[in-house]
Structures are given as structure tokens and as C-alpha cells.
Amino acid sequence: LEPQGNGQLYMTSDVKEISGKSYDYIVVGGGTAGCPLAAILSKRFSVLLVERGSSPYGNPLVMDKKYYGLSLLQTDEYTSVAQSFTSEDGVSNLRGRVLGGSSAINGGFYSRASEDFIRKAGWDRKLVRDAYKWVESKVVFQSEITPWQAVTKLNLLEAGILPDNGFSLEHIKGTKVSGSVFDEYGRRHTSADLLQAGNPKRITVLLNATVKSIIFNKNANRNESRAGGIRFIQSNGSLNQTYEAYLKQSKNSSSRGDVILAAGALGSPQVLLLSGIGPQQHLQNFNIPLVADLKEVGQGMQDNPSIGILLDTKSENRLPDPPQVVGIADDFKIIVQGLILPISLNETRIVISAKVAFPASRGKLELNNTDPRQNPAVNFNYLSNRKDLDECVKLSQLLDQVSSSKAIALFLGMEHKNKSMSTEDEARKLCKSNVRTFYHYHGGCAVGSVVDKDHRVYGVKGLRVVDGSTFSESPGTNPMATLLMLGRYQAIKILKERNCPV
Ligand SMILES: Cc1cc2nc3c(=O)[nH]c(=O)nc-3n(C[C@H](O)[C@H](O)[C@H](O)COP(=O)(O)OP(=O)(O)OC[C@H]3O[C@@H](n4cnc5c(N)ncnc54)[C@H](O)[C@@H]3O)c2cc1C
């Protein structure tokens, strides 16, 4: 639990110590968006940040690039930093369970959203730009590219993903090198590092505590339910031993804080459902008292279908190599990256992967049970829409081209052969049987259906959601940059609403 930086950030795993206390804001989930959000709110207010996992500091599997990917191989039910889940459509997937969230287990690739995404979101462009820059000044690096990433770049260019844009953080057509949260010494900077950039004295981080539900206070006169706090359990404790923490009370509703869910695309819809906000019929099945009949909670879940091609015929003991290069092809519709992934402590495989950037297929998330530590049931309906299958056919043909480049043959010490392109039929079969994830799933609490444009949950007061569950599409090539940005952006908007200078 060693605090980082100037040592003023208070982190505890003692649920009893926090039980019964009150704060101006309670942020549920210390992940990619949750940490910058808590940091900025703490500049003016007291904040309780509740994270179900432990601290990333001192864990080499999280912090050290040479162990990149190993944390994804060591998953268990309640304590590992990565929690695995399999969607109802049979695709294995992962999510972070540690302070820093998925930014602590991911590939660290950092690339901003397109102008178009920002315009459609209706965000203030200058505030967005400033928020990206703030994140970049603290946790984003441009390291020298590794030999495999240099080869990936050549492959992408040889396959016609042009122009060569050199280094850029922008979402632009062609091939580019982008930023990374791994610094030049191979040390990962998770979103947790951003907590120091707020007022650490006003943040309390409660680790290893899982939020079970939101406490609502009913105002019968106004027929209004307002979030008043949270119920939580010790992550490895009993489900029946619950504790409570509260929002500070104030007579004037405009000077009250909020409970803000930042528990990720699986966690936030799950906590809403467990708290009685969701489709009435579904909640009845679990005897959860209804607070608001919000049918869209858990709807519109989406993941980008992806195909990966293994390039080496057998495993080697090369160092794992997270992505630094990306190909943005087919008018922004296909995203290609190359990685070296561990398959055990000392074996790795080389992979080229691509995702369909704008799938049309959508699915849903529902509860399996009422234990907040368990994964909810999620179905992404990969490739169920014909348009996605057509895109995937194009994508796998492009992957054929990329993976048969001269640069790869040279890197792997093989003879270069011009691989024949798969037919549409073969490509369709490959897509259907080999569909995987880029881990960029989103939705479940989309803006406009579950939350308004200020991320307030419809039908109740004092509750917001700020994380990937609010997106209806994945921003840019990879979402982390925009989720880090969103945490700061929404916190600044909240401070402005309350006339607090930042
Ligand atoms: C393996 C992997 C590789 C990826 N690679 C990249 C990449 O290279 N670049 C990129 O841009 N994106 C990448 N992504 C995607 C990106 O990391 C995620 O989209 C993003 O981090 C999600 O941010 P979030 O804030 O929505 O959720 P998260 O960062 O997942 O945060 C949610 C937090 O809430 C906590 N939580 C959940 N439920 C509760 C509860 N009930 N009580 C308390 N705490 C709770 C979780 O433990 C977690 O810390 C990758 C993702 C994965 C899984």
C-alpha cells in the first residue's frame, strides 16, 4: 500500500475505518477514468475513491514492460489484477481489477480520438485538447521503437497503409508510431499516477473493497430518489458483511456532491442493476427493489470483432512487446497492430491483429447473480450484423497481405513467399471461427439513453457514470487516451457547474 510521489495520498484496505464516514464525492472504481476524475475533484472537494483491487505499486507484473502480458495469464476468481470473463458468444476477454484499472494491465498504447468522435460527443474542443495534454504531460511517453515494432511499421507500409505519419498522437489515416504509458525505462504509468496531480490530502483511496450497491434517499414530496452513499464489502470477505459510506449532506441541493460510477463497461451497468436501476422485469427476477425503471441499462454493449494471425510457427523466448505502431486503414474502418505476447513465463508468440473499428452489432449485459465480484453475463453478438462480417472479410484479406511481407520474413529468418489471398468464403469462415477481442468493449450506460450529456443517470439525482460504459463507439484506434481525458474533462465540468475555479 506504499503511497507514491510526495506520500500524502492516503490508501487503506481497512473497510471498518471508512465505514460510516462522509465525503463530498464518492468515486466507484479507481480505473482509467476514475483516477483522473478523483484527482481533479479533490482540488476542491473531499473524495472517497473505492477500488475493488489492490495497489499496482510494487507489482512487477503490472509495472514492468518486460513482464507485459503476464498478468493476463494469471487470473483467479477474486484477487488477480486481471479478471477474465467469457462473453455469452464464447470469446474470452479481460478487465482490470487493480488501482489503475485496465490501464494497469493493457498494452499501454496511447492515441487520441478523432475530431469526428469529439464533435459527435458534443464536447468542448478546447477543454478536450487541454485534458489530453494534461494526461500526456504526466503519463505518456515516446520511447524508441523496438525492432519488432520497426518491422510492424514496414509491414504496414508495404501492405499499402499509407502515408507514413511518423510519430503522432492524432487519429490520422495511414501508419504511425503513437505514445505509450511505458516510459523509456520500461516502467508503466497507470492512471493511478494521476492521483498525485490532484490534492492528495483530500483523497482517500479504499482498496480491496467492492461496491455492492448505491444507497438512495427517497424524497416523497418530490417523488425523487437521490444517491446518498454506497454499500460495500471487503473484496475477499463475506457478501453479507456490508459497510456504508455517505455523501456529505447539505440543505442546498446544488451544493451536494455525487456518487460517480467509474467501474468500467462491465462494472458500472452491473452496479446500477444491483442498485435497482434498470429494466424492471430483470430486477424482479433477482428480487432487487426498483429505484428507476431504466430499460437501457446494460443495452447496446459492443466490442470490436478482431482477428489475430500468429506469425511464428513455434514459441520463442523473445521479450514481450506491447504495440507502439498502428495502421489505420480502409478509411478509418480497420485498425492493425503487431505485438509479441507471452504465453508463459519464458515463451512468447508474435501476432499481427486487426479490429473492425465501427461494428454495427450490439448485445447486452445482464446480471447472473447478485454478487458484485462475479462477472455479469455479457453478449456482444460479434459479427451478427452482415456489415460487420463484410468488414471482417476485408480485414482478414488485409492481414494476409501484412503478414506475408518481406520485412516479416527477414525478421523471422524465413524465406519470403508471396502468400495467396484467401477467398471471400475462406475469409468469412476465418472471421466466424476466429473472432477475438481487442479488449475495447464499451456501452451499457450510453450517453443519451442511461446518462445525459453531463453523465448524470436519468431518473435519479446525485448519480453519474464516467467511463467506457458511456461510449457508443470506441474512440480513435484504442480507447485508453480518451478515457483518461474523459476523467479530467468531466471533473472540470463538474467543478465549473459548482462555480469552482480549477
Ligand atoms: C488486456 C487489455 C489490453 C488493452 N490494451 C489497450 C491499449 O494498449 N490501449 C488502449 O487505449 N486501450 C487498451 N485496452 C482498453 C482500455 O484499457 C480500456 O478500454 C480502458 O482502460 C477502460 O477504462 P474504464 O475507466 O472504462 O474502466 P477500467 O479502467 O477497467 O476501470 C474500472 C475500475 O473499476 C473497478 N471496479 C469495477 N467494479 C467495481 C466495484 N463494484 N467496486 C469497486 N471497484 C470496481 C475495477 O477494478 C477497475 O479498476 C486494453 C484493455 C485490456 C483489458
Task: Please name every residue paired with 25 in a beta bridge, in sequence order, or none if there are none.
Answer: 47
Cell of 70: 503476464
Atom of ligand 1 nearest to the CA of 53: 47
Q: Which of 339, 439, 477 to mutate to test the pocket of ligand 1 (most atoms within 8 A of CB)?
A: 439
Name the pLDDT band for 343 (thresholds 50, 70, 90). Answer: very high
- Percent of the chain scored above 70 by pLDDT? 98
Output the pLDDT for position 368.
96
Cell of 495: 467543478
CA nearest neighbour of 468 among 354, 303, 332, 353 = 303
Name the pLDDT band for 1 (thresholds 50, 70, 90). Answer: very low
Contact 83, 97 (CB under 8 A): yes
**Strand pairing category for 325-329 and 334-344:** antiparallel
Average pLDDT, the chain: 95
Please write the tens of the pLDDT for every residue from 118-173.
Answer: 999 999 999 999 999 999 999 999 989 999 999 999 999 999 999 999 999 999 99
| CB atoms closer than 10 angstroms to residue 343 | 13
What residues are in contact with ligand 1 under a 6 Å CB criterion?
28-34, 50-53, 72, 94-97, 101-103, 105-109, 210-211, 262-265, 267, 271, 372, 439-440, 467-468, 478-481, 483
Output the pLDDT for position 3.
44
Annotated binding residue 50: no
Q: Which domains does the chain have, with CATH numbers?
A: 1-140+186-303+360-382+439-498 (3.50.50.60), 142-180+305-358+383-434 (3.30.410.40)
What spacing in Å lies between the alpha carbon of 142 and ligand 1's midpoint?
22
- Half-sphere exposure (CA, 13 Å, Cβ side) for 455? 27
pTM for the whole thing? Answer: 0.97
Output the pLDDT for position 7.
58
Nearest CA to ligand 1 atom 17: 102
Region 101-123: what's the mean pLDDT? 98
Please write the tens of the pLDDT for every residue from 432-459.
Answer: 999 999 999 999 999 999 999 999 999 9
Residues with active-site annotation:
440
Output the pLDDT for position 327.
98
Output the pLDDT for position 421.
77
Please write the tens of the pLDDT for every residue from 229-282.
Answer: 999 999 999 999 999 999 998 777 667 899 999 999 999 999 999 999 999 999
Please write the tens of the pLDDT for every residue from 362-405.
Answer: 999 999 999 999 999 999 999 999 999 999 999 999 999 999 88
Cell of 454: 453531463
What spacing in Å lies between the alpha carbon of 397 and ligand 1's midpoint?
30
Whole-angstrom CA distances from 132 to 109, 122, 248, 500 are 14, 16, 31, 21
Region 78-92: what's the mean pLDDT? 97
Query: Is 72 a residue whose pLDDT tops 50?
Result: yes
Q: Which of 35, 73, 106 to mutate to test the pocket of ligand 1 (most atoms within 8 A of CB)?
A: 106
Output the pLDDT for position 123.
98
DSSP state of 182: B
What spacing in Å lies between the alpha carbon of 211 and ligand 1's midpoint?
16
Cell of 338: 503487431
What spacing in Å lies between the alpha carbon of 82 and ligand 1's midpoint?
9
Nearest CA to ligand 1 atom 3: 106
What spacing in Å lies between the alpha carbon of 90 and ligand 1's midpoint?
20
Output the pLDDT for position 253.
66
Query: Is 5 a residue whose pLDDT tops 60?
Result: no
Output the pLDDT for position 406.
87
d(CA 468, CA 422): 35
Sign of CA dihedral 229, 98, 40, 110: negative
d(CA 422, CA 28): 47
Please write the tens of the pLDDT for every residue from 163-216.
Answer: 999 999 999 999 999 999 999 999 999 999 999 999 999 999 999 999 999 999
d(CA 144, CA 10): 35
